[in-house]
Amino acid sequence: MSSILILILLVPVIEIYLLIKIGSQIGAITTILLIFITAILGIYYAKYEGLNTLKSGFIQLSKNQTPTYEMMSGAAIAFAALLLIIPGFATDILGFFLIFPFTRKFIFKRFIKKFSDKKSKNKNFIEGEFEDIEDKDER
């Protein structure tokens, strides 16, 4: 089974389980308020971080540098805002990890390290040149 399909099935199960467990400990009204508060605070902080990332990207462009980190951060912040809008505690935790700059840098370093190791190990290619030959001209 595909890992994305497993993820789509597993996330709601985890969220429902956490909502039931936390709701039984602190109460239903408090749980609902906590979900709304984390969503509202997360969206405002995502907006703040998004504007900071945009400003940093413009600074990189003015220095004639490619804003690679800023583009990755912008995508991560947008995904984090989406996770914070989804009601639940597990998605909120992951969303806050992606919004805060120091955890986002840590996640990016791990992600880049994982894929750079695969890229350096997979050097099975043949370098060469090619030339297009028209069949009509050859006959």
Please report, in tens digits, the pLDDT of each residue of the chain (139 residues total): 688 888 888 999 999 999 999 999 999 999 999 999 998 998 899 899 999 999 999 999 999 998 988 999 999 999 999 999 888 999 999 999 999 989 999 988 888 887 776 555 556 667 778 777 776 655 5
Residue 109: Cβ-neighbour burial (10 angstroms; 0-12, 13-18, 19+): exposed
Answer whether residue 134 is part of any domain.
no
Answer whether residue 25 is part of any domain.
no
Q: How far is CA 123 from the centre of its chain?
A: 28
Answer whether residue 30 is part of any domain.
no
pTM over 0.85: no
Q: Which domain holds residue 112?
A: 35-121
Rounded CA-CA distance 69/76 in Å is 10
Answer whether residue 61 is part of any domain.
yes
Number of domains observed in the structure of the chain: 1
Q: What is the pLDDT of residue 118?
A: 57
